[in-house]
Amino acid sequence: MTGTAAQVRFLLVRNLREGVRNPVLAYGLPVVIPLAMLVLVATTLSRVTDLPGFPTDNYAEWMAPAIIMLSAMTGVGYAATSLVVDIQSGFLDRLRLLDAKPSALLLSRLLFDVVRVLPAGAALLVVAVLLGTDLKEGVLGIVVLFLLLFLWAAAYGGLYFVIALTTRNAQAPLALAPLFLPLQFLSTQFVPRTILPGWVQGVSAWNPFTYMVDAARALTTGPLTLAPVAKAVAVALGLLVVTQVASRWAFDRAVDSH
Amino acid sequence: MTLTTPFDAAIEVHELAKRYEPAGVDALVDVSFSVGHGEIFGLLGRNGAGKSTTVRILTTLLRPSGGSAKVQGMDIVADPGGVRRALGVALQGAALDELMTGREHLVLAGRLVSLDAGAARSRAAELLDTFGLSGAADRIAARYSGGMRRRLDVAMAMVRDPPVLFLDEPTTGLDPQSRRALWDLIRRYRQQGAAVFLTTQYLAEADELADRVAIVHEGRIVALGTPADLKDRFGATTIRLRCPAPDAEAQIQALAGADAAQRDDAGWIVLAVGGGEAAVPDLVGRLTASGPAIERLAVVPPTLEDVFVTLTGTGVEAGSGSADDTSLSAVRRGMGVSTGGGR
């Protein structure tokens, strides 16, 4: 019997191929909203930087690292929806009868959610540089930034697996995709913590996205310190573990009981 | 494929039961049968009779609430992994990935069941050829016709050359030509020594393809045997006569002692023969000796549909159960009034 790693590979190839044949949803969605937001915000709200205490005079530079992390959230749910479609169509039963392991089925889908943020993140990085973002922390910062982006995509995407598998409704992840909107506003994406109203400062400390934004800035525009990166990795890993345990539980129930 | 096998039967089912909670619906009640190697076994029943539940349990996708079953000697509950490795399964509805080509489907299946890359590719090419899909091999499934989808579906079930093949309504929705082509493939597979378990709601399909048939009704097996055996036991032979005399019907009825002589719209008198085919010569002798003048006469053998109606009360596709009896069903068939599908 094939090992789990090999099965993940076969099934991931299937998902990647599907993505190429359905490129708008698979690869377009993660990039479209962040790209529009970066360009629009940088041009229309450029004077935000005049606020007292704002750390930079280029608003695009302030927004770019946060928006790269956002690309893991705007197109979220594609893999989770595909998994529910597989369950509903009976294709998942077929894969299980062909010895596919539950862990391979879940992991191959989750990894696809990770892979699809790569082109989005890269495109956003290029645009950020074009808009004058100074990548002070260099290549190392960018490499770690992308590793964190992948981890965040897996952790945040996992939430949508739980939603999809619990409701067994292929539309549910789509309906809950706008969750990124409040998470954005309740984080340090738009302005530094000190400028946020007091209650939002409090909420933002409980918002995992805040930690991604802070780490992304440390890794790109600097200054790079260990603390924000370590915190972000810990938060994303924690969310990943919780969502993976929950989605495995929901998966077993979804394929077992009917 | 291993032809020499230590197992007496490919599939052994003993008092299998499935109760769906919390509704408390009994989908299967004490179902027992066995399927041998080199045998095509047909499970015949209306929608909702329990066919798919049986398939899902025997293929380890659903847990039974009672009873036991073995596939190739392995218990379906204790060793689901082992059972799956002995199975090829095509479930109802041809589940395919719309964005994958036929070849990609088969290669993925081959890889998952542990063929190496080269073996998976050559197995895929072989099956595409066998199932007449070589020309469409690199087209995505979304562009396949219904018949092509079904063939790919069954081809996928055969990737690991399984000793036991499950096909859940494999020909539903197929045109007659595609259906015959699939029957041929299934027969060839049996020839190799495989056990084939198929469900169908087409009576003619069960009659022609299956070596043995079980009729399932409301979760219970109400009859089991070869099609010929079932027709002998539960079917009725009819005689169709054309007589010019307007009162011929009554005369025939009096002579035959049969209670179901009727005249159909086309003017044929249709008569159910109580004693089966053995009683036909004597009856025809009496009719020609002392009955009304006969212009034409045809003997119509019993069909599985009569059997089905006798045992379940209605035709395969009929919804409600008015309790037609065998001879009435036979008469209606003779009159060209179909009581259900699969004619």
Report phi then psi at A207, rounded to 5.
Answer: -95, 115
CB-CB neighbours of B216 under 10 Å: 24
CA distance A5 to chain B (A): 11
| pLDDT over threshold 50, residue A253 | yes
| pLDDT over threshold 60, residue A177 | yes
Task: Specify the DSSP class assigned to residue B258.
Answer: -
Single-letter residue type at A216: A
**Structure tokens belonging to residue B280:** 């036909």
A96 contacts on B by Cβ (under 8 Å): 61, 84
Cis check: omega of the bond before A223, within 30 degrees of 0: yes
CATH code for the domain of B308: 3.30.70
The verdict on B254 and B163 lying in the same domain is no
Q: What is the ipTM of this complex?
A: 0.86
Q: Where are the alpha helices (DSSP H) in chain A?
A: 4-21, 23, 29-44, 59-74, 78-89, 91-97, 102-115, 117-130, 138-167, 172-175, 180-185, 198-204, 208-220, 226-256
CA distance B209 to chain A (A): 25
| pLDDT over threshold 80, residue B8 | no
Q: What is the mean pLDDT of residues B235-257?
A: 80
For the ranges A43-57, A207-221, B92-106, which has the lowest average pLDDT? A43-57
| Domain end among B225, B243, B273 | B225
Residue A252 in contact with partner chain B when CB distance is under 8 A: no
* Range A200-216 burial, b when 16+ CB lie within 10 A, else e: beeebeebbbbbbbbbb
For the ranges A98-107, A158-167, A205-214, B321-330, which has the lowest average pLDDT? B321-330
**Structure tokens belonging to residue B62:** 């659903």
Q: What is the mean pLDDT of chain A?
A: 89
The verdict on B79 and B221 lying in the same domain is yes
Chain-chain contact of A17 with B100 (C-beta, under 8 angstroms): yes
Site from A13, A94, A101, A255 to mutate, B interface, most B CB atoms within 10 angstroms = A94
Q: Are B270 and B238 in contact (CB under 8 A)?
A: yes
Q: Are B8 and B39 in contact (CB under 8 A)?
A: no
The verdict on B190 and B70 lying in the same domain is yes
Q: What pLDDT was estimated at residue B259?
A: 55
Task: Specify the DSSP class assigned to residue B101.
Answer: B
Q: What is the mean pLDDT of chain B?
A: 83
Please check whether residue B133 lies inside any domain of the structure.
Answer: no
Please check whether residue B305 lies inside any domain of the structure.
Answer: yes
DSSP SS3 for B51: helix
Q: What pLDDT was estimated at residue B136?
A: 92
Please check whether residue B123 lies inside any domain of the structure.
Answer: no
State the residue for tokens 């704002």.
A54
* Range A233-242 burial, b when 16+ CB lie within 10 A, else e: bebbeebbee
The verdict on B212 and B176 lying in the same domain is yes
Task: Specify the DSSP class assigned to residue A50.
Answer: G
pLDDT in tens, B258-304: 556 778 788 888 888 777 777 888 888 888 888 888 888 888 888 88
The verdict on B270 and B199 lying in the same domain is no
The verdict on B220 and B238 lying in the same domain is no
| pLDDT over threshold 50, residue A238 | yes
Q: What is the mean pLDDT of residues A139-148?
A: 94
Residue B139 in contact with partner chain A when CB distance is under 8 A: no
Please check whether residue B1 lies inside any domain of the structure.
Answer: no
What distance in Å separates the CA atoms of residue B140 and residue A65, rounded to the nearest whole number?
Answer: 39
For chain A, the structural domain boundaries read 4-256
The verdict on B204 and B312 lying in the same domain is no
Q: Are B53 and B23 in contact (CB under 8 A)?
A: no
Q: Which domain holds residue B328?
A: 232-334
Q: What is the mean pLDDT of residues A19-48?
A: 87
Please check whether residue B203 lies inside any domain of the structure.
Answer: yes
| Domain end among B225, B253, B276 | B225
The verdict on B239 and B182 lying in the same domain is no
The verdict on B177 and B278 lying in the same domain is no
pLDDT in tens, B310-343: 888 765 554 433 334 444 555 544 444 433 333 2
For the ranges A24-28, B199-203, B204-208, B255-259, which has the lowest average pLDDT? B255-259
Specify the pTM: 0.82
Domain count, chain B: 2
Please check whether residue B128 lies inside any domain of the structure.
Answer: no
Q: What is the mean pLDDT of residues B240-250?
A: 82
Q: What pLDDT was estimated at residue B213?
A: 93
CB-CB neighbours of A40 under 10 Å: 10
Strand partners, B239: B271, B299
The verdict on B23 and B163 lying in the same domain is yes
Residue A90: closest C-alpha in chain B: B95
Please check whether residue B131 lies inside any domain of the structure.
Answer: no
Q: Are A217 and A65 in contact (CB under 8 A)?
A: yes
The verdict on B31 and B178 lying in the same domain is yes
Please check whether residue B6 lies inside any domain of the structure.
Answer: no
Strand partners, B140: B101
Share of chain B above pLDDT 70, in %: 88
The verdict on B46 and B84 lying in the same domain is yes
What distance in Å separates the CA atoms of residue B269 and residue B248, rounded to the nearest whole number?
Answer: 8
Q: Are B125 and B138 in contact (CB under 8 A)?
A: no
Chain-chain contact of A98 with B93 (C-beta, under 8 angstroms): no
| pLDDT over threshold 80, residue A189 | yes
Half-sphere exposure in the Cβ direction for A36 (13 Å, CA): 6
Q: Where are the alpha helices (DSSP H) in B158-276?
A: 176-191, 203-209, 227-234, 248-256
pLDDT in tens, B121-156: 999 999 999 888 999 999 999 999 888 898 899 999
pLDDT in tens, B20-68: 887 888 889 999 999 999 999 999 988 888 888 999 999 999 999 999 9
Q: What pLDDT was estimated at residue A1?
A: 55
| pLDDT over threshold 60, residue B245 | yes
Q: What pLDDT was estimated at residue B101?
A: 94
Residue A226 in contact with partner chain B when CB distance is under 8 A: no
| pLDDT over threshold 90, residue B214 | yes
Task: Quickly list DSSP for B262-326.
Answer: EE-TTS-EEEEETT-GGGHHHHHHHHHHHS---SEEEEE---HHHHHHHHHSS-SS--S-----H
End-to-end CA distance of chain A: 27
What distance in Å separates the CA atoms of residue A45 and residue A120, rounded to the nearest whole number?
Answer: 23
What distance in Å separates the CA atoms of residue A215 and residue A151, rounded to the nearest whole number?
Answer: 13
Q: What pLDDT was estimated at residue B314?
A: 66
Q: What pLDDT was estimated at residue B7?
A: 55
What distance in Å separates the CA atoms of residue B339 and residue A193, rounded to the nearest whole number?
Answer: 76
pLDDT in tens, A81-102: 989 999 888 899 999 999 899 9
Site from A11, A12, A87, A98 to mutate, B interface, most B CB atoms within 10 angstroms = A98
Q: What pLDDT was estimated at residue B315?
A: 58
